[in-house]
Structure 1
Amino acid sequence: MPRINLLPWRDELRKQRQKNFSLAAVAAVAMGAVVYLLYNNSINSSIEYQQVRNQFLEAEIALLDEQINEIIDLEAQKERLLARMAIIEQLQKSRPQVVHLIDELVATLPEGVQLTSVAQSGDRLEIKGVAQSSSRISNYMRNIDASDWMGDPDLGVVEVSDQGRRRTAIFTLFATQENPQLSAEEGSE
């Protein structure tokens, strides 16, 4: 007699396939989770590494900014010191000018002219005085023009007044203070 298998072999085969599929699905999910965790760990590690690099760069940039600010401060201090040195040097060079100017005021003064005031603004001189005549003022202006320490005389005002028997001229003239030493230095440069 032929043998008939009445066992539910198809159900067992289906159960076996379903079990294999479930195991494969669980393994695939587990592999996916492992791959995801490895990828996520790699990305997080790259991000942390880049953040450390960024922090290092920011610290170096801050250090360089401080150094730049120090350099700017030092440059400004250097400019101030150079300006002071230039002023001191100019004062050292112009120190004897006052003495020479007073000597020249006396040396150029002709007989019959008296100075009442001398004012200086920069290199410009304002000279006020009294002369016995206008010709003496002209003579004084020629003397100023011939002087090494003064030049460019310019007559501002002349008022003639009679004082008793004498006739006098009250004058205001302008001149420039010159320095022959500086002129010689500029000429040689």
Structure 2
Amino acid sequence: MPRINLLPWREAERKRKRQEFGVGAVAALLGAVLVYFVVNWQMQSAIDDQMARNTYLNDQIKELDKQIAEILDLEEQKKRLQARITVIEQLELSRPEIVHVFDQLVRTTPDGIYLTSVKQTDRKIELKGIAQSSTRVASYMRNIDSSEWLKDPALQILETKGASDAGSQFTLNATQENPQVAAAASEQKAGPGQKGPVSKKAPKVPGGAS
């Protein structure tokens, strides 16, 4: 019976298997490296896209902040202009005030009273004079209280010197009023499309005392 030497075949088979294992290991390593680079490239691409979006959003936010700042600046300018317009309107309305005040001083002064001094400080008016009696002073105060251009009469001094027919010296204070300014302020407070409260004119008291 012939003998067959299997050692060379076994050695060749082991060598082939080692080569196949080496090729498979190298292929697996290359595949892993390839997968790593592909995944890394995809992640980096996603990060770059997100960074680009973030940059775009930041630029848009800065632009909106700039527009908001401009709008706020325009609002401030509008408020300043409205304040100036209000001051100008009040000045226009207050121009004839002194004429009305002197007219009311004449109209509200009853018979038996004459003024010796008129002093104005801001909106306060100090009136000094001589009255035939205290009832004349009371009538004068009622007339002032009924006036549209004067209000809040307050008696400070009332004294009689010398003979009883010499009259009484008095000092009273009043406040200057402007019904036009008050009506304009009421309309502005009520807002557009609304009417402010209607002011009722107080009845005029005749200049003569009863």
1:5-154 equivalent positions in 2, closer than 5 A: 5=5, 7-110=7-110, 111-122=112-123, 125-135=124-134, 136-154=136-154
Aligned partners of 2:46, 2:164: CA distance in 1, in Å? 110
* Larger RCO (CA within 8 A; separation ≥ 6): 2
SS at 1:187 equivalent: coil
Paired residues of 2:132 and 2:165 also in contact (CA < 8 A)? no
Q: State the TM-score, normalized to the length of structure 1.
A: 0.82
SS at 1:8 equivalent: helix
Of 94-103 and 37-46, deviating more is 94-103
Aligned partners of 1:149, 1:115: CA distance in 2, in Å? 21
* Structure 1 pair 115–15 and aligned structure 2 pair: CA distance change class (3 A): farther
Paired residues of 1:154 and 1:175 also in contact (CA < 8 A)? yes
Aligned partners of 2:58, 2:48: CA distance in 1, in Å? 15
Of 26-35 and 130-139, deviating more is 130-139
* Structure 1 pair 22–146 and aligned structure 2 pair: CA distance change class (3 A): closer
1:174 aligns with 2:173: yes
Paired residues of 2:125 and 2:176 also in contact (CA < 8 A)? no
Aligned partners of 2:161, 2:148: CA distance in 1, in Å? 32
Structure 2 unaligned residues grouped into runs of 5+: 185-195, 200-210
The structure in which a higher percent of residues are strand is 1
Structure 1 unaligned residues grouped into runs of 5+: none
Give, in angstroms, the shift of residue 29 of structure 1.
0.4
Letter of the aligned partner of 2:34 in structure 1?
Answer: V
Q: RMSD in angstroms over aligned alpha carbons?
A: 2.8
Aligned partners of 1:100, 1:160: CA distance in 2, in Å? 31
Give, in angstroms, the shift of residue 35 of structure 1.
1.0
Q: State the TM-score, normalized to the length of structure 2.
A: 0.75
1:4 aligns with 2:4: yes
Give, in angstroms, the shift of residue 31 of structure 1.
0.8
Aligned partners of 2:142, 2:7: CA distance in 1, in Å? 148
